[in-house]
Structure 1
Amino acid sequence: MRIIRYTDAEYANESRRLDRRAEASDRVREVVSSVIKDIRERGDAALLELTKKFDGADLTPDTLAIPIADAELAIDALEPRVREAMEASKRNVQTFAQQSMRKAWSMTNEQGAEVGEVFHPFERVGVYVPGGTAPLVSTAIMTVAIAAAAGVPEIVVCSPCGKEGQVNPNLLAALRLAGATEIYRVGGSQAIAAMAFGTETIKPVTKIFGPGNSYVVEAKRQAFGVVSVDLLPGPSEVLVLADKSANPAFIAADLLAQAEHGKDSGAGFLTDDAALLEAVLKEVETQGAKLSRQDMVRSVLDKECFLMLVPTLEEGAEIVNNYAPEHLSLITEREQDILPLIRTAGAIFLGNYSPVAVGDFLAGPSHTLPTGGAGKSFPGLTVDMFQRRTSMVRLSKEACAKSESVVRIFSEIEGLDAHGNSVSVRSI
């Protein structure tokens, strides 16, 4: 782990390096551009070849989709305790979503026009659920279940399969339990391209959701405009900002939990207390030695984890804003002073007894959050992202007449006399 102290000569430079912007490498952009072009030109044929190349699975057009009946059987085969856990998570996620659903409203403006908004769910959305080293059952719930809560009728899911074409049965069950209506065993940037542009087998969607690796995130970026996208959630990360009131064992546990995500995930700890920094460092070594994913955790700790001693928590908060972490754990006796300073975190976990893992699996807000610095521009996934907004305007003859003079002035300024006439002709 990299240790940075404000007394170090390189402290200012190290702090500046933590001011991140979400940006793909030239190599990633080129690969994704090629994949999208191939999918657009050759459809299923390209999708099957790329799945064979990247995932080692030899599929056919007939085996791209996983029958919904198979997903129903996977639900039936769940252990009772596993199904209960999935159902508990789904209830919290959908209850939270329903509370934040945007509702239709209207008002009367000063000219007497009735104006307002109505909201409708997207008709067909795509959700990407990563595969990789762990079956992300929680991601299935924290994306698909929100789409279902919003009333989306067609929820298309793509998730990579193993070399034999299999998808983890727990993940398959979770997808259907959450509300997926179509499930395809394909992953990577090719899956994003297939959902955005369509193939012979996969009909195009109108908006794409979900996290993924750098290639998936870049594919969403390049598909934007053809489809809408939710945000740019990539490899997972956590930042902890704490003072002497924090329990070092708890902080170390959160850092290690993040490292467990593996390649490209990141973890950082900032504190104004030197003794706490040393205690956390020791706890990381002690707890880390007992974990099952030793190689993976150690690799992340060595390459992507840092501990930083800052002069004040206020300066730590500014570094947090520059870093824009996916998850922030804030543990301080001065919460009322420091919390208002945080502006760019995807989600904030407050106090010693708010582990990030509860947010990952159960709390209610979606764990699909902006990463890599994208939190400066994007919020986390919310139910309103599954809703399409439409404004509504209704004028009576009297309201139209009262609006005419202002519209005429704008029309004269902009040289658009037909605009003015379209109001004047109704006001005679």
Structure 2
Amino acid sequence: MKILSFRDTGYERFVAGLNRRAIPGDDVREVVGGIIDEVSKRGDKALVDYAERFDRVKLKPSELFVTADEIAVARKLVAPSTKRAVAASLKNITEFAKRSMRKDWSYRNAEGARVGERFTPFDRVGVYVPGGKAPLVSTALMTAGFAKAAKVPEVLGATPCGPDGTVNPELLYALSAAGVSEIIKVGGAQAIAAMALGTKTIRPVDRIFGPGNRFVVEAKRQLVGAVSIDLLPGPSEVLVIADKTGNPDFIAADLLAQAEHGGDSVIGFLTNSKALIGKVERAIERQLKTLSRADYIREVLDKGAFTLLVKKFEDAIEICNAFAPEHLSLVCEDENGWLKKVRTAGAIYLGPLSAVAVGDFLAGPSHTLPTGGAGRSFSGLRADQFQRRTSVVKLTAKAVKNSLETVEEFARIEGLDAHGRSVSIRVEG
């Protein structure tokens, strides 16, 4: 783990480098553009070829979808404890989602017209669940679960299968429990292209949700317009900000947990307490000895973790706002006061007992959050993103008459005679 103090020569340069913009490299843009083009031209055949190339599995176009029998088998294989965990998480997700969905409203404006908004669920959405070393059951719930709560009629799930052509049973169970109506065994940028553009066997969706690697994120970015997206959630991140009151064991545990996400993870620890840094370092070493993946986690920490000793606590908050972390753990005196100064973070975990892992799996808000600096522009996934907004206007005869003078003036300024006439004809009639 890289450790820098505000007194160090390279400190200012390092901090300046944390002011990120979620912009992909030319190589990623080119690769993803090629994949999208191939899926657009060759459809299912391209998906089959990419599955063999990237996932080492041979599929026929007719085998791209998970079957009802496969889901039935998965239900039998999943342990009762897993089913209880899935149910508990879905319950909190549903309750949280209900409170964050937008509701229809209307009022009469100054001219007497009835204006308002109505919100309806998208007809068909896609949720992407990354593959990898572990089945991301919680990601399935925290994407598809929100779609279910918003009453989206059709949800298409996409996740890569293994070399044997099967998808992890716990993941299949979670997708099914969350209300996914179809599941394709496709991963990577090609899955995003298939959901956005459609193929012979896969009907396109209206909006795509879910996290992924830099190729998945870039595919979502390039396909905006053909489809809408939730946000740009890439490799996971955490920033822990603590003062002298921080518990070193808790902080170390959060940093180690984040490192489990993999080599592209970004892990930061900021404090104005030099003593706390030493305590956290020692706690990390103690806890590493108890973890089954200690060597892997240490490698991730060496590659993507940093600790900064800041001069003043407010400096840490300023760095956070520039960094825009996916997860922020804020542990300090007057935590509510400092919370008000945080402007850019995907999710905030307040106080020493608020483990990020509870948010990852159970708390209720989605853990699909903006990364790579995108938190300046995007919020985390939420239920109202599964709703389509439509404005509604209804005029009475009096409202039309009251609106005429202003409309005619705008029509005159902009040279749009027909616009003015379309209102005056209703008054004259």
Work out whether the TM-score is over 0.5.
Answer: yes
Residue aligned with 1:426, SS: helix
State yes or no: 1:252 paired with 2:279.
no
- Paired with 1:116 and 1:58, the residues of 2 have a C-alpha distance of 52
Deviations 1:210-248 (A, max 9, x none): 000000000000010100000000011100000011100
Instruction: Find the counterpart in structure 2 of residue 26 from structure 1.
Output: 26
Deviations 1:352-406 (A, max 9, x none): 1000000000000000000111101000000000000000000011100000001
Instruction: Find the counterpart in structure 1 of residue 353 from structure 2.
Output: 353
CA shift at 1:56, angstroms?
0.7
Aligned pairs (5 A) from 1:370-409: 370-409=370-409
CA shift at 1:272, angstroms?
0.5
- Paired with 1:222 and 1:51, the residues of 2 have a C-alpha distance of 21
Instruction: Find the counterpart in structure 2 of residue 189 from structure 1.
Output: 189
- Paired with 1:412 and 1:300, the residues of 2 have a C-alpha distance of 64
Q: Which moved more, 1:374-383 or 1:328-337?
A: 328-337
- Paired with 2:72 and 2:111, the residues of 1 have a C-alpha distance of 56
The answer on whether the counterparts of 1:144 and 1:155 sit within 8 Å (CA) in structure 2 is yes
Gaps of 5+ in 2: none
- Paired with 2:377 and 2:72, the residues of 1 have a C-alpha distance of 39
Instruction: Find the counterpart in structure 2 of residue 329 from structure 1.
Output: 329
Instruction: Find the counterpart in structure 1 of residue 126 from structure 2.
Output: 126
CA shift at 1:340, angstroms?
0.9
The answer on whether the counterparts of 2:143 and 2:209 sit within 8 Å (CA) in structure 1 is yes
Instruction: Find the counterpart in structure 2 of residue 298 from structure 1.
Output: 298
Deviations 1:301-349 (A, max 9, x none): 0010000000111110010011100000000012133111101100000
TM-score, normalised to structure 2, is 0.99
Instruction: Find the counterpart in structure 2 of residue 14 from structure 1.
Output: 14
CA shift at 1:73, angstroms?
3.4
TM-score, normalised to structure 1, is 0.99
The answer on whether the counterparts of 2:263 and 2:303 sit within 8 Å (CA) in structure 1 is no
Q: Which moved more, 1:76-85 or 1:180-189?
A: 76-85
CA shift at 1:78, angstroms?
2.0
CA shift at 1:288, angstroms?
1.6
- Paired with 1:12 and 1:385, the residues of 2 have a C-alpha distance of 38
The answer on whether the counterparts of 2:263 and 2:304 sit within 8 Å (CA) in structure 1 is no
Structure 2 letter corresponding to 1:395: L
Instruction: Find the counterpart in structure 2 of residue 68 from structure 1.
Output: 68
Aligned positions, number = 428
CA shift at 1:9, angstroms?
1.3
Structure 2 letter corresponding to 1:389: R
Instruction: Find the counterpart in structure 1 of residue 410 from structure 2.
Output: 410
Instruction: Find the counterpart in structure 1 of residue 318 from structure 2.
Output: 318
Residue aligned with 1:81, SS: helix
The answer on whether the counterparts of 2:245 and 2:332 sit within 8 Å (CA) in structure 1 is yes
The answer on whether the counterparts of 1:313 and 1:338 sit within 8 Å (CA) in structure 2 is no
Instruction: Find the counterpart in structure 1 of residue 151 from structure 2.
Output: 151
CA shift at 1:69, angstroms?
3.8
Identical aligned residues as a percent: 57
Gaps of 5+ in 1: none
- Paired with 2:288 and 2:414, the residues of 1 have a C-alpha distance of 67
- Paired with 1:71 and 1:321, the residues of 2 have a C-alpha distance of 44
Instruction: Find the counterpart in structure 2 of residue 81 from structure 1.
Output: 81
CA shift at 1:100, angstroms?
1.0
The answer on whether the counterparts of 1:68 and 1:181 sit within 8 Å (CA) in structure 2 is no
The answer on whether the counterparts of 1:208 and 1:229 sit within 8 Å (CA) in structure 2 is yes
Instruction: Find the counterpart in structure 2 of residue 235 from structure 1.
Output: 235
Instruction: Find the counterpart in structure 2 of residue 111 from structure 1.
Output: 111
